[in-house]
Amino acid sequence: MLPAHYVCTSCSTKFLFEFREADYYLGTGEIGGEVTDKDLLAVPLRPAWCRDCGCVCPVEDIAPLRTFEAAYGAVRRGLAFDYPFSSEHGDSSEHLEAVEAYLRWRTGRRHAARALCCGGSNFLLMDVATPLFKHAECDFGVVEPATAFLGSYNWSPGISGPSNTRLYTTEGELIGLRTWLHTDRSSWSVEKLSYPRHTSE
């Protein structure tokens, strides 16, 4: 889960996420044109500070394989789980299908978790008790999570406006942006997109 934003306790500078959601593209075809819902899998995310970009950003949350196997066991026994997604909403057949997709993705995944701003790994996780960190040119404050209501009132992604959700390969490479929903065929328009530059690997 990502907090609404982060704020410095001294100077009150706000640090906002440029985006809060991301999908893996599971399809085999070249990206472009449209993608269907069944080829998308939500990226599990953790909040981080990217040292290369100097921003708060979502980082892939890649738990050990056994955590996915535990979720698979739980869904088959009708038990609750909260990773790779929360079992609170939806029905068990949807959950089973999704957990199987996550398990296949995790089994094949090779690259370490990436910061989804630039694809790098020079980041500091922000959802741990320590370290709180100080930002540049501010001696007294530490950067803390803040809660706020996130306006999503009457907003239907892809219909009211473009969803603008980033799409990544199963190895965390940025490949596209999904924009408009075509409800008649459960698919999304996609534009090509890639990381602005390649950073330290």
CB atoms within 10 A of CB 87: 20
Our CA angle for 4, 178, 156, nearest 5°, is 60
Q: Is 53 a binder of Zn ion (CB under 5 A)? A: yes
Minimum Å gap between C-beta 65 and Zn ion is 26
Q: State which residue, 8 or 63, has the beta carbon closest to Zn ion.
A: 8
Minimum Å gap between C-beta 53 and Zn ion is 3
Q: State which residue, 40 or 53, has the beta carbon closest to Zn ion.
A: 53
Q: State which residue, 115 or 167, has the beta carbon closest to Zn ion.
A: 115
Rounded Cα–Cα distance for residues 190 and 182 (Å): 11
Residue the block writes with tokens 């950003």: 57
H helix or E strand, kind and range, residue 69: helix 65-76
Minimum Å gap between C-beta 8 and Zn ion is 3
Per CB under 5 A, the list member of 11, 128, 146, 148 interacting with Zn ion is 11
Per CB under 5 A, the list member of 115, 116, 167, 190 interacting with Zn ion is 115
Minimum Å gap between C-beta 199 and Zn ion is 7
In the complex, the residues that contact Zn ion under the rule CB under 5 A are 8, 10-11, 13, 50, 52-53, 115, 117-118, 138, 141
